[in-house]
Amino acid sequence: MMKYSENYLSLRSWYFILVVISAAFVIGTRLSQPEMMYFDEVYFVPSARDMLAGLALGEVTHPPLGKLLISLSIYLFGDTPFAWRLPSCLSGIALVAILYRLMMAFGSSRTSAALCSLIVVCDGLCVTQARVGILNAPSVAFGFGALLCAVRARSVWAGLLLGCSIACKFIGLAFAPLILSVLLSSLRKDGRDLPRRISSSLVISLLATLVAYLLAFVPLRRFMSSFLSGVWLYHRTMFEHHLVEATLPHRYQSSWWTWPLSLRPIWYGFEEIPGTDLIRGVLCMANPVTSLLVLVGVIGILLRLIIRRNVWWGERVAFGGFVLQFLPWAFSPRLTMYHYYYPALVFGVVLACLQMERLKESVRTPIMLVTVLATVVMFIYWYPLWSALPISRSLYESRIWFDSWV
């Protein structure tokens, strides 16, 4: 019996290890390409340099933790493209590992957990976020880490990671109501249903969130006359930016309802290599298979909710996360862009994989195999345009399916 258990645990470990290695290979390969700063790196990398050198506060359009992580990476590994992007890269790898554990915590099989992680590894929206020195990947990884801790009823860690997510970027705020509701449900499942114990756990989690968020501002104390007034001024500047400057038109702005269809992806970078017929660029766009899976998953859960069929707890959590990360953009006063769909897409992948788990094995197995095959084929097809790999103009033009993708 002991030998069987050891083999079973070993098999589960290998699934997890292979998923993480795949993520590290896909995300980390050629991380230094392109060699120059591109997209919002032109803001965050100089800001990280200034903060590291003690010269200035840097740009203040987002909370400081993500930029501090870039500063730390530059300090440890030098001022290179690899160092600028390493925090995002590690966050992308961590997200894949977290999703595997989250699926298992929801009661999924390890096959479905591995499929969920594989889809994220092979998705262009997820890959491009993890290969550029901006703030999205760390914020989302911390947010999903907080969710995993909430599912496991670990109040303090859920709060600390949620605070870190918000301290990277305010998209972390959309995780807050979901994490608190999941934490409440998890505490009840643990048998700790006394109101006092539940209330104390939620309060502790909220305090941990606040502490983690404020601690991110401590390294900036040297730029502030007083800590509290400095933090207040920082936030006032942030909100002024998002309510005024961030409402100006942008070439790649797009309406929130177009994101699931990838109607207006974003070129993070694009160049024609001089003296050659080669083109390289970074196209922030989801794998078409991923987009289809998410659409099917969301439509499926909506139909089941309408006709009042049984919906698993994990499916409710994933659908709640999708709604919280997606619908608020319909009411955003600032301009919206396609890459804001990133956390909602990840929740959609979790939702779709959980719904596959419901299918009969005779149906589920072929659907999973087709999904894996289609996902990998589309990944190979699009990877050059997700990773700045030089390709010929003819190959580039064959991948521009619609005029709105230019």
Reported as a single tens digit per residue, the pLDDT across 310-345 is 888 999 999 999 999 999 999 988 889 999 999 999
User: Which residue bears the tokens 């949620």?
Assistant: 162
CA angle, 341 as apex, 337 and 346 as ends, to 5°? 160
Residue 193 has a pLDDT of: 54
Preceding omega of 390 cis (within 30 degrees of 0) = no
Q: Is residue 2 part of a domain?
A: no
The C-alpha atoms of residue 79 and residue 73 are separated, in whole angstroms, by: 8
> In the beta sheet, which residues pair with residue 283?
267
pLDDT digits (tens, 9 = 90+) for 356-368: 988 888 899 999 9
> In the β-sheet with 266-272, what is the strand arrangement from edge to edge?
266-272, 278-284, 391-392
| Range list of H helices, 260-312 | 288-306
CA angle, 67 as apex, 66 and 68 as ends, to 5°? 90
CA angle, 329 as apex, 242 and 98 as ends, to 5°? 100
The C-alpha atoms of residue 401 and residue 406 are separated, in whole angstroms, by: 9
Expressed as residue numbers, the domain containing 277 is 11-405
Residue 4 has a pLDDT of: 41
Q: Is residue 138 part of a domain?
A: yes
Q: Is residue 400 part of a domain?
A: yes
Q: Is residue 4 part of a domain?
A: no
Residue 195 has a pLDDT of: 66
Q: Are 355 and 319 in contact (CB under 8 A)?
A: no
Q: Is residue 1 part of a domain?
A: no
Residue 86 has a pLDDT of: 98
Q: Which amino acid is at 250?
A: H
- In this prediction, the residues of the chain whose per-residue pLDDT falls under 70 are 1-12, 189-197, 245-247
Give the list of residues 6+ apart from residue 369 with CB closer than 8 angstroms, or none.
none
Query: Which phi-psi region, left, alpha or beta, contains residue 107 (left: φ > 0; alpha: ψ -120 to 50)?
Result: left
Q: Is residue 316 part of a domain?
A: yes
Residue 192 has a pLDDT of: 53
The C-alpha atoms of residue 34 and residue 36 are separated, in whole angstroms, by: 6
Burial of 381 (0-12, 13-18, 19+ CB in 10 A): middle
Domain count, the chain: 1
* pTM score: 0.94
Q: Is residue 318 part of a domain?
A: yes
Residue 11 has a pLDDT of: 56
Q: Is residue 176 part of a domain?
A: yes
